[in-house]
A and B are shown apart, each in its own frame.
Chain A
Amino acid sequence: MTSFFTYRFGWDYGWAWFAATLMDILLVALPLMLSVAMIIYADRKIWASMALRRGPNVVGPFGLLQSFADGLKVFLQETIIPSASNKVLFLLAPIITFTVALIVWAVVPFDARAAIADINVGLLYVLAASSLGVYGIILAGWSSNSKYPFYSAIRAAAQMVSYEVAIGFVLISIVLWTGSFNLTNIVQAQKGMGFGLINGFFINPLLFPMAVVFFISSLAETQRAPFDLTEAESELVAGYQTEYSSMSFALYWLGEYANVILMCTLNATLFWGGYLPPLDIPILYMVPGIIWLFLKMLVFFFLFSWVKATVPRYRYDQLMRLGWKIFLPLSLFWVFLVSGVLMLTRVGTECAPQDRVYSKQYLYDDGRQRYPTDGVCQTASANQTEKRS
């Protein structure tokens, strides 16, 4: 799109890039807002049918417009700001939550090379942005100057920091396997993972446990049931949102669901093949990648809703135990396991320096030549092929 602006309007590259990126952002953010409204409706419908209720069915056909009606209602209400609150931070907190929920979408690949920013630290960017999410909640809790939101903020801080550790290690095992932090490369590496037929890391028995850990951690990271201790209504009224009303409350709502959709997409992208079709068959590639991504995302969203409707809430000590005593050691052990397997299968063992063949070489500032560690052992690989034949 940058070239469109440079050629069509003869703009300077910098400004053309700026305008093109702005359009890209709108192209992602606006449909995202719409899908948040629809996903809230879907969530309520799924939850209702699991509880043998009808769910929203009054506004519009099948109640499809329920979320928009709610949005309008919330928009027309008065914003109440508690007099003892810290006003600037009180209003800033929902804005932070909402913005942070949107910025991660910048690196999500919707199709091959179709991301707003196809950066080579994509996964780190995801980690960085998702670690910011906690600020919206902490600030809400503190600035409300009220007991229940404050408890909720303390819970949220501990919960999100704990589960990010597990998520970090899960991501490291993926990065080790792929050899790249770029999300598009990660998706491409999943092509034909299982028997050259199935796309996705989940089929790899070594990575499947990490897919499960990531799914559960993503429930905890988005504060969905059964880990919704920050807004446990039986203990904390509505948690950090207690003092919020009107649009500032709606921003939390939107941000929460944008985060849920994002986590579903990340689950699909990191372990279940992302925009690739489930099977590596040429005819399936006729369907655009974005359709496959959406289908996988919806499957994961159904799982999120299913869990919400059926699993009772964890106690706080159980939550911490799961994060620190089970997921952390497990994922840490898995990093060792994956790197060990990769050492054996890809890198190989040490060989004599004269046998090594390097792909690249560098000159350092002291004038000496140094080599990267990707030296391939020529004699060793020759031996291996002999053994195989």
Chain B
Amino acid sequence: MIQAIAFYLFAGLVIASAALTITARNPVHAVLWLILAFFNAAGLMVLVGAEFIAMLLVIVYVGAVAVLFLFVVMMLNIDFAELRAGFAKYAAIGAVFAVGLAAEIMVAFGAWSAGKIELARRAAPTPDTLPNIEALGMLLYTRYLFVFEGAGLVLLVAMIGAIVLTHRERKGARAQNVSRQNARRPQDATRNTQPTVGKGIEL
């Protein structure tokens, strides 16, 4: 009973907030609805017993990716009239994509239902005796080791690429040398003098 209530709560909120993500006028509101959708999706993951994926969803998407999204979107200055003018122009292309994606989802579901995978596995894909972090780790670091490391490599290349593309040497910037600052002592910087009246000091 309580599981059913929780499921319909999370599922309903995911769908509602996903719909509001694409219909919200204000881009900041759209990102916030997206965050709510992520959050409720994590709730659904907990319900099916995939708590590791749920936590990762919250940490990675809500905690890091969406923060940066929000960060960028907050500083955008969007002309809504221009956006709406673009809508009619791209509606046809958008519709094609939408149909394509819907078809893909159907094909995926069809393959999932027709496949050889037993029904019981769909509900409990991990061994009962094992927390699913361990089960996932066991698979990732044995059976899918090379795929996993390949994915890591792709991410590393993407990260280095982003740094190389956006990094620029700034000429004339006065960079601070922290170790030199820390090594500086009062006696290097100050001098005790006893100037007589009307004389001043020589620098």
- By a beta-carbon cutoff of 8 Å, the part of chain A in contact with chain B is 12, 14-15, 17-18, 89, 119-121, 124-125, 127-129, 131-132, 134-135, 138-139, 142, 150, 153-154, 157, 161, 164, 181, 317, 321, 360, 362, 364-365, 370, 372-373
B55 at the interface (CB under 8 A from A): yes
Q: Are B133 and A128 in contact (CB under 8 A)?
A: no
Residues of A within 8 A of B70 (CB): 135, 138, 142, 157
| A360 and B129 form a contact (CB under 8 A) | yes
Across chains A and B, the number of contacting residue pairs, with CB separation under 8 Å, is: 85
The verdict on B110 contacting chain A, using a C-beta distance below 8 Å, is no
With CB as the reference atom, state the residue of chain A lying closest to B70: A138
B89 CB–A CB distance under 8 Å: no
Jot down 29 A-B pairs with beta carbons below 8 A, ordered by A.
Answer: A15-B2, A119-B51, A120-B133, A121-B51, A125-B55, A127-B55, A127-B59, A127-B63, A128-B55, A128-B58, A128-B63, A129-B58, A131-B58, A131-B59, A131-B62, A131-B63, A135-B67, A138-B70, A157-B70, A157-B71, A161-B68, A164-B64, A364-B143, A365-B117, A365-B121, A370-B143, A372-B142, A373-B138, A373-B142
**In the complex, what distance in Å separates the CA atom of A365 from the CA atom of B126?**
11
| Chain B residues near A372 (CB-CB < 8 A) | 134, 138, 142
Determine the residue in chain A with the shortest Cβ distance to B58: A128
Contact with A along B14-57 (1 / 0, CB 8 A): 00000000000000100010010000000000000001100110
Contact A121–B52 (Cβ < 8 Å): yes
Asked if A12 contacts B1 (CB within 8 A), the reply is: yes
B138 and A14 contact, CB distance less than 8 A = no
Decide if A164 touches B56 in the complex (CB within 8 Å).
Answer: no
A193 to chain B, nearest CB (A): 24
- Cα of A18 to Cα of B117 in the assembled complex, Å: 35
Main secondary structure of the interface of B (DSSP, over half): helix
Number of interface residues of B (CB under 8 A): 35
Do the beta carbons of A124 and B52 come within 8 Å of each other?
yes
Q: B78 interface residue, CB < 8 Å from A?
A: no
CA distance A129 to B54 in the complex (A): 12
Cross-chain contact B1 with A161 (CB below 8 angstroms): no
Q: What separation, in Å, do the CA atoms of A157 and B70 have in the docked complex?
A: 10
**Beta-carbon contact of A124 and B178 below 8 Å:** no
With CB as the reference atom, state the residue of chain B lying closest to A165. Answer: B64
| Interchain CA distance A120-B131 in the complex, whole Å | 7
* Alpha-carbon separation in the docked complex, A202 to B4 (Å): 45
Q: Which residues of A contact B196 (CB under 8 A)?
A: none
A132 touches B62 (CB 8 A): yes
Given the interface contacts A14-B1, A17-B2, does A124 sit within 8 Å of B67 by beta carbon?
no
> Are A164 and B63 within 8 A (Cβ)?
yes
Tell which of B28, B55, B121 touches A124, judged by Cβ atoms closer than 8 Å.
Answer: B55
| Chain B residue nearest to A179 in the complex (CB) | B134
> Which of B2, B143, B178 is within 8 Å of A18, CB to CB?
B2
A377 CB → nearest B CB, Å: 17
Other A-B pairs beyond A125-B55, A157-B68, 13, CB < 8 Å:
A14-B3, A18-B2, A119-B51, A121-B131, A132-B58, A142-B28, A142-B74, A161-B64, A164-B63, A365-B118, A372-B138, A373-B138, A373-B142
B141 adjacent to chain A (CB < 8 Å) = yes
Contact call A138/B67, Cβ cutoff below 8 A: yes
Complex Cα distance, B178 from A321, in Å, reads 10
Using a CB-CB cutoff of 8 Å, which residues 116-157 of chain B contact chain A? 117-118, 121, 127, 129-131, 133-134, 138, 141-143
In angstroms, Cα B42 to Cα A129, docked, is 12
Is the Cβ of A154 less than 8 Å from the Cβ of B59? no
Q: How far is the CA of A263 from the CA of B64 in the complex (A)?
A: 20
Kindly provide the distance from the CB of A96 to the nearest chain B CB, expressed in whole angstroms: 10
Q: Assuming the A-B contacts A119-B51, A120-B131, are A134 and B67 also in contact, with contact meaning beta carbons closer than 8 angstroms in the complex? A: yes
Cα(A365)–Cα(B52), bound, Å: 22
Complex: how many Å from CA A89 to CA B70?
13
Q: Which residues of A contact B71 (CB under 8 A)?
A: 138, 154, 157
